[in-house]
Chain A
Amino acid sequence: MAKRVGMEVGIAAAEAVGMCNIDMAAVYPITPQSHIAEHLSEIVADGRIDAEFVTVESEHTSISCVSGASATGARVYTATSSQGLLYMHEILPIVSAMRLPVVMGNANRAISGPINIWNDHSDIMPQRDAGWIVLFADNGQEVVDLTIQSFKIAEHKEVMLPICLNMDGFQLTHTVELIEFPDQKKVDKFLPPRKPLATLHPDNPVSMGTLGMPEIYAEARKSQDVALINSKQYILQIWDEWEKMFGRRYKPVETYRADDAEILMLTMGSMGETAELAVDQLREKGMSVGLVKLRLWRPFPFEELKAAVKNAKLLIVTDRAVSFGGSGGPVYIEVKAGLYHEKERPLIYNYIIGLGGRDVPVPCFVEMFEAAAQSAEKGIVKDYEYYGVRG
């Protein structure tokens, strides 16, 4: 039987990895990911799972180490955050280009400077074009479910791509939540051992990570892009399978009271749950508002997003990162570009919120909805705005 327990989400993430029959993990601790690193190493050291936990000297090495192990056919896990993810940056596109299944948890944290250990999305955004599948979790239950699903998605023979599962640092990783852990036997059935296309073994030689001359490089890049785009259909299949086995449904774009809403707000990550409360309050006041929560950042779910916003008059995109000198936050830029060719499209506003752990409570979301609605009524066209910045 599935059991429900109160548990810190970072610990729960490590427990979920412990249920996935991994062969090895290499995790370099960094706040706020450290509890994942510590607890996973405890699970291995206590002999609860038969896996290798490699203590590495940096994130550059942890990602290199799990990639090498993945090439031998192992099921692997790593986790990081902020500067650690930036330190992995050099290796990230190589992992995806080599089509190596790697599952990585990222405890989202602001990047320096100023030095800041608290939550926003400025660590994952610079990794946007690394060719990874990128998922966002809203809460602890989703962290557990998506972690288990990620191994199956990454290792699917038509996917073979690394996955980064984003969970907001502190807001999620250090919060104790009520989490339902699936039954181990059912997880084993859902997630059988990995069947790699090829493994590094002297008996059956294969070259991985080869040189690509100008005559082949563009074709290689195109085939990788197509692989990432095509991965969506297998992600959807696996989410269907998960729903059948465990009862919880996952979608690339989640919606909340959005069907008839004239004004929609788009969030990614744990702030979606706070925004839901704001939607409830405004609905009670008779305002036609709803929420669109982006779960799948890469491959970007254009079709699902278009369907979710097609009846809205105003779409407020929230961003937890800055694209310096650009036309707005990274999510806003993507959403706006994705809707450009639509004949019917909403007016789009962009609020940059919650940088470096700045709290964004329910009244702030209410205020954002109301301020944006007033501007939209006057027909004001505007680009991004830092919400709540003094001065």
Chain B
Amino acid sequence: MKKKKWPETWRTINPGCMVFDAGNARTYHTGSWKAERPEWDDSKCIKCGICYIFCPEGCITQDENGFFRADLNYCKGCGICAHECWPGAITMVEEG
């Protein structure tokens, strides 16, 4: 069954729009907002993790080889990781 995205009517809204189930932001895939996605050139990456630290979405994780990738379900394509990556390992590529 498809998960209901919005309360059906104004009557079913919780008082004060309170949300009682924790971690619900996970179900909202903000990745659809992006116009560009980050791509890593692992040959330039020095595994410093600055992209991981600066990602405002917290969607960058380190893989088993020590390199970094963004979870594109949540990456909004802001480009902060590419801007901060001083070895120049990240390029923003247009979605298409």
Contact = CB atoms under 8 A, between A and B. Distances in A.
B28 to A, nearest CB: 9
Interface in A355-371: none
Contacts of B20: 198, 206
Instruction: Assign chain B's interface to a size class.
Output: 10 to 19
Contact of B16 (A160, A216, A226): A160
Contact of A210 (B6, B7, B17): B17
A227 B6 contact: no
A16 interface: no
B1 interface: no
A208 B13 contact: no
A226 B24 CA distance: 27
Contacts of B11: 223
A100 interface: yes
A212 B15 contact: no
B30 to A, nearest CB: 11
A197 B15 contact: yes
Given A206-B19, A207-B22, 18 more contacts: A97-B16, A97-B17, A98-B17, A98-B18, A160-B15, A160-B16, A197-B18, A198-B20, A207-B18, A210-B18, A215-B6, A216-B7, A218-B10, A219-B6, A219-B9, A220-B13, A226-B10, A227-B15
Interface of A: 97-100, 160, 197-198, 205-208, 210, 212, 215-216, 218-220, 222-223, 226-227
7 contacts: A206-B19, A208-B16, A215-B5, A219-B10, A223-B10, A223-B13, A226-B10
